[in-house]
């Protein structure tokens, strides 16, 4: 493995800016690493070798011409396959979009290109971001670099695994119910869900529009903050984008790295008392609370009584929005078409196309969403879930009147073996138990490695008020300064 | 009592334009029943006076000046279509022969 692949994004950017190494050399080192290990990890669905080297050459040319480079210029990045990338295959890990090359870039991808980052390719995921293990990808699962027989989390398992396997220093994920933080926790990497509306959803293949939030994945908190600052900010093409300045998350990460949390008040959610969580996860969680206390933080318990209803509310709201969003996959304008043999009507072609193109988890959620939105059940399910969302928001508002951030374990369990939860969907859904409340509220949250249990990574989740993303970066960087960066076994 | 029957799942699949197989119907009916019984807990929250929240940020229409800006070309818009003809999306027939 080249030493270049071990460097952080910040170190790579500085090395490229100084001229000690070229962006092309950095890109090639990561492409070589992908060639060496990705057959075993399967983090990538598509590697864009030519595009990456062309982008790297562009950065080198600009540097040679004396042009000013951005803070991440020349740094390689992997992008979850749910974001549209112009001319580069984009499938959302579904057969229904196999071979589709979007004619435009998502806003986030535009910003990554403008910043001079070098896109290596598209990462594996659960189909249409529906899943907690990357076992529902139509193109086969991603393997966790810590133990290739275990899941890398989901739905952004490919992005997290690419980071953990040193195939890329940075990656983009999307978080609807925990799909950045949960894979981050089980791969020993950092994953941040920005404030909903803080990062643009334009060009993101929609799963649940009121929840989907793109965000950064990295090996360090500082790197995640650097990427966050590049992709965040108002986008007039997204009606839910917040027209406010993004807080200085990079400065907050640097402040946290000094290891001083004096004056910071941290709340422990009383209802997250360990029920349903593995003892090893709770032990690492308690150790990290002790570490934060030693750094000067004041820790108190805060009751959020409606968090217990977050999981059921989410599993009514998200499939309902998905059943509507996925109606566009009808075999007419893009993607797969099946049954168009002159013997079937348009309606039959649509049904046959969707049957052939969607995997089981997607079908299950479309049917569940259609049920929850149907006239006889709307008030009992979807309407009630939206009221629960109000109650959870009130819990957060009340909590943040008393503390600066809330913390919890990110996941109830460490990475589990493949196949151990696919038979019972609700058991799988429990993987997102701690992450979902913040999606319903809309605030930011980050997962940072806080230790090991049975040799596998455990993550600490830090939740902050809406548009106070900087607070979570400060606390996360402080914890990282004592726990350190986790290193997986050699592949 | 089951929260959802196999027949209801078949009906929902038709509404969703999903031509599911007999085996999938069996599997989904059992799994959706477990999911619905688990999520039914939200009915425990007495919330008649609670306003629903659909989005965490206020929804507003996004307007821009009525100025022509570059968009997708016809060729680009059709580039991902499974079938196209004369610069348009070609779709399967909509009406049955007897219609």
What is the value of ipTM here, to two decimals? 0.93
Within 10 angstroms of residue A271's Cβ, the number of other Cβ atoms is: 16
- What residues of A are labeled active site? 80, 155, 179
Binary contact (B35, A323; C-beta < 8 A): no
Strand residue runs (E) in B1-99? 84-85, 88-89
φ, ψ dihedrals at B21, nearest 5°: -80, 165
Binary contact (A367, B61; C-beta < 8 A): no
pLDDT above 60 (res B99): no
Angle (nearest 5°) at CA A412 between A411 and A418? 80
Cα gap A78→A121, rounded to integer Å: 5
Cα gap A287→A279, rounded to integer Å: 12
Q: What is the pLDDT of residue B97?
A: 58
Q: Do the domain assignments include residue B98?
A: no
Torsional sign, CA A230, A236, A238, A241:
positive
Q: Do the domain assignments include residue B74?
A: no
Q: What is the pLDDT of residue B94?
A: 75
Q: Do the domain assignments include residue B70?
A: no
Mean pLDDT over residues B30-57, rounded? Answer: 88
Q: Do the domain assignments include residue B65?
A: no
Domain interval for residue B36: 6-45
Binary contact (A426, B60; C-beta < 8 A): no
**What percent of chain A stands above pLDDT 90?**
93
φ, ψ dihedrals at B63, nearest 5°: -110, 155
Cα gap B65→B70, rounded to integer Å: 14
Describe chain A by its helix, strand, coil percentages, rounded to 5.
45, 15, 40
Q: What is the pLDDT of residue B98?
A: 57
Binary contact (B82, A347; C-beta < 8 A): no
Cα gap A122→A368, rounded to integer Å: 29
Instruction: State whether residue A102 sits within 8 Å of chain B by CB.
Output: yes
Q: Do the domain assignments include residue B30?
A: yes
In terms of C-beta distances under 8 Å and separation of at least 24 residues, what long-range contacts does A349-356 make, across chains too?
A349/B92, A350/B17, A351/B14, A351/B17, A351/B18, A351/B19, A352/B19, A353/A96, A353/A329, A354/A96, A354/A329, A354/A330, A354/B16, A354/B17, A354/B18, A354/B19, A355/B18, A355/B19, A355/B20, A355/B21, A356/A95, A356/A96
Mean pLDDT over residues A365-381, rounded? Answer: 93
Q: Do the domain assignments include residue B14?
A: yes
Burial code (b: 16+ CB inside 10 Å, e: under 16) for A77-104 equals bbbbbbbbbbebbbbbbbbbbeebebbb
Cα gap A396→A407, rounded to integer Å: 12
pLDDT above 70 (res B8): yes
Q: Which band of pLDDT confidence, cut at 50, 70 and 90, is reported for residue B60? A: confident
Contacts of B4 in chain A (CB under 8 A): 371
pLDDT above 90 (res A38): yes
Contacts of B93 in chain A (CB under 8 A): 342, 345-346
Domain harbouring B35, CATH code: 1.10.20
Q: Do the domain assignments include residue B64?
A: no
- Please give the C-alpha separations between residue A53 and each of A6, A117, A334, in angstroms, as whole numbers: 19, 11, 29
- Pairing status of strand A265-269 against strand A405-409: parallel
Q: Do the domain assignments include residue B20?
A: yes
pLDDT in tens, A129-151: 999 999 999 999 999 999 999 99
Instruction: State whether residue A441 sits within 8 Å of chain B by CB.
Output: yes
Instruction: Indicate the range of A47-61, A101-115, B16-30 predicted with least confidence.
Output: B16-30
The total domain count for chain B is 1
pLDDT in tens, A190-204: 999 999 999 999 999
Tell me the residue length of chain B.
Answer: 99
Torsional sign, CA A76, A182, A406, A208:
positive
Cα gap A81→A88, rounded to integer Å: 10
In Å, how far from its chain's centre is CA A42? Answer: 17
Q: Kindly report the average pLDDT of chain A as a whole number.
A: 96
**Among residues A485, A456, A464, which one has the least CA distance to residue A284?**
A456
């Amino acid at each position: 493995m080249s030493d270049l692949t071990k460097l952080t994004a910040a170190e790579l950017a500085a090395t490229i800016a100084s001229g000690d190494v070229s962006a092309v050399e950095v890109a090639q080192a990561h492409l070589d690493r992908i060639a060496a290990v990705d057959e075993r990890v399967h983090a990538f669905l598509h590697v864009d070798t030519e595009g990456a080297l062309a982008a790297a050459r562009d950065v080198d040319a600009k540097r040679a011409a004396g042009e000013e480079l951005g803070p991440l210029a020349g740094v390689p990045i992997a992008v979850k396959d749910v974001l549209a990338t112009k001319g580069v295959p984009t499938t959302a890990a579904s057969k229904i979009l196999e071979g589709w090359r979007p004619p435009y870039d998502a806003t986030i991808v535009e910003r990554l290109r403008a910043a001079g980052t070098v896109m290596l390719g598209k990462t594996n995921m659960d189909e249409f971001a529906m899943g907690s293990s990357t076992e529902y990808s139509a193109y086969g699962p991603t393997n966790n670099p810590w133990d290739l027989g275990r899941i890398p989390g989901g739905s952004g398992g490919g992005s997290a695994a690419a980071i953990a396997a040193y195939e890329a220093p940075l990656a983009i994920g999307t978080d609807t119910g925990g799909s950045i933080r949960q894979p981050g926790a089980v791969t020993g990497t950092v994953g941040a869900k920005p404030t909903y509306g803080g990062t643009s959803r334009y060009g993101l293949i929609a799963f649940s529009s009121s929840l989907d939030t793109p965000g950064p994945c990295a090996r360090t908190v500082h790197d995640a903050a650097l990427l966050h600052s590049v992709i965040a900010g108002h986008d007039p093409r997204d009606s839910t984008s917040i027209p406010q300045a993004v807080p200085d998350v990079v400065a907050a990460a640097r402040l946290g790295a000094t290891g001083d949390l004096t004056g910071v008040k941290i709340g422990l959610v009383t209802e997250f008392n360990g029920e349903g969580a593995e003892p090893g996860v709770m032990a690492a969680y308690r150790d990290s609370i002790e570490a934060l206390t030693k750094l000067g933080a004041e820790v108190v318990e805060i009751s959020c009584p409606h968090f217990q209803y977050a999981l059921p509310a989410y599993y009514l709201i998200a499939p309902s929005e998905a059943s509507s969003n996925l109606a566009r996959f009808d075999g007419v304008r893009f993607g797969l078409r099946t049954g168009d043999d002159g013997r079937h009507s348009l309606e039959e072609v649509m049904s046959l196309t969707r049957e052939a193109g969607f995997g089981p988890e997607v079908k299950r959620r479309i049917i569940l969403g259609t049920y929850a939105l149907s006239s006889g059940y709307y008030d009992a399910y979807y309407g009630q879930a939206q009221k629960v969302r109000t109650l959870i928001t009130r819990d957060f508002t009340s909590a943040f009147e008393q503390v600066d951030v809330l913390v919890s374990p990110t996941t109830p369990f460490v990475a589990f073996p493949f196949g151990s939860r696919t038979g019972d969907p609700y058991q799988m859904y429990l993987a997102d138990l701690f992450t979902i409340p913040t999606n319903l509220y809309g605030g930011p949250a980050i997962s940072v490695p806080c230790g090991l249990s049975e040799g596998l990574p455990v993550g600490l989740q830090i939740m902050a008020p809406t548009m106070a993303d900087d607070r979570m970066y400060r606390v996360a960087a402080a914890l990282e300064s004592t726990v350190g960066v986790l290193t997986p076994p050699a592949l | 009592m089951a929260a959802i029957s196999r027949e209801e799942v078949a009906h929902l699949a038709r509404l969703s334009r999903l031509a599911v197989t007999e085996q999938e119907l069996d599997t989904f009916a059992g799994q959706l029943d477990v999911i619905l019984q688990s999520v039914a807990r939200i009915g425990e929250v007495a919330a008649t006076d609670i306003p629903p929240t659909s989005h965490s940020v206020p929804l507003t229409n996004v307007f821009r000046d009525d100025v022509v800006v570059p968009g997708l070309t016809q060729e680009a818009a059709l580039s991902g279509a499974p079938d196209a003809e004369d610069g348009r999306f070609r779709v399967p027939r909509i009406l049955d022969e007897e219609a």
